[in-house]
Chain A
Amino acid sequence: GNSVTQMEGPVTLSEEAFLTINCTYTATGYPSLFWYVQYPGEGLQLLLKATKADDKGSNKGFEATYRKETTSFHLEKGSVQVSDSAVYFCAPDRDDKIIFGKGTRLHILP
């Protein structure tokens, strides 16, 4: 079945640094891919998505490209802000369900 591997956290960066959070997935077929974000004390929010190979999802300065050949969906942002501190989940779908990994906690220092 589908599963996901994300880089271990916590990841600590200074404000305005470049961010990459690696994500690889295993899947049968062609899943849709999602990044969800969980800010402190808040519920899960959809950050971005991609539904087919080579699609690029983007939102709030974050981007991720669906790479079928490497089964990856790495999250990137050119210049992070303190307000980006949160837990980020890479998640493929499978049979109408979304499969979540453990998430990557991101700390941005001012």
Chain B
Amino acid sequence: DTGVSQNPRHKITKRGQNVTFRCDPISEHNRLYWYRQTLGQGPEFLTYFQNEAQLEKSRLLSDRFSAERPKGSFSTLEIQRTEQGDSAMYLCASSLAKEQFFGPGTRLTVL
């Protein structure tokens, strides 16, 4: 399968714990995006990379969130000191041109 993959698919954690998600993009894609989607809403942009450079970060993203793409391939999204409001589906997408290709998402539940 050469699509975008995300791990884990599901994560349940307790409030205050740190979590880290991984995204593996389509191999030749130079751009990688992170979105968050809550129930009944569309995906909300969080941040994106071109190769290893983080080009933009949403103003809605708190300092507890950090993302990296150290070698311009896979990316990680870390959430520190999780809160119940962080419960959502976290989506990764990659692109080479205008259209973005999405992974299956990581569903985070914060208890």
- Interface residues in chain A, defined as those with a beta carbon under 8 Å from any beta carbon in chain B: 32, 34, 36, 42-46, 49, 51, 89, 91, 93, 95-103
B56 and A97 form a contact (CB under 8 A): yes
Q: Would A100 and B102 count as touching, CB distance under 8 A? A: no
Please determine whether A101 and B42 come into contact, CB atoms closer than 8 angstroms: yes
B-side contacts of A51, CB under 8 Å: 98
Q: Give the tally of cross-chain contacts (CB within 8 A).
A: 45
Within the complex, what minimum Cβ distance (angstroms) separates A35 from chain B? 11
Q: List 3 A-B pairs, minimum CB-CB distance, nearest first.
A: A100-B42, A44-B102, A43-B104
The answer, among B33, B45, B56, B103, for a CB contact under 8 Å with A43, is B103
Q: Which residues of B contact A44 (CB under 8 A)?
A: 43, 91, 93, 102
Within 7-55 of B, Cβ neighbours of A (below 8 Å) are at 31, 33, 35, 40-45, 48, 55
In whole angstroms, how far apart are the Cα atoms of A44 and B99 in the complex?
A: 12
Q: How far is the CB of B73 from chain A (nearest CB, A)?
A: 19
The answer to whether B91 touches A89, judged by C-beta atoms less than 8 angstroms apart, is no
Residues of B within 8 A of A46 (CB): 99-101
Report how far A89 CA is from B98 CA in the complex, Å.
16
Measured between C-beta atoms, what is the minimum distance from A46 to chain B in Å? 5
Query: A102 is contacted by which of B40, B98, B105 (Cβ under 8 Å)?
Result: B40
B44 contacts across to A, CB distance below 8 A: 100
A96 and B48 within 8 A (CB):
yes
Q: Please give the distance in Å from A102's CB to the nearest CB on chain B.
A: 5
Q: How far is the CB of A90 from chain B (nearest CB, A)?
A: 9
Q: Is the CB of B40 within 8 A of A98?
A: no
Q: Which chain A positions have C-beta within 8 A of B105?
A: 43
Complex-state Cα separation, A89 to B93, whole angstroms:
15
- A101 neighbours in B (Cβ, 8 Å): 42
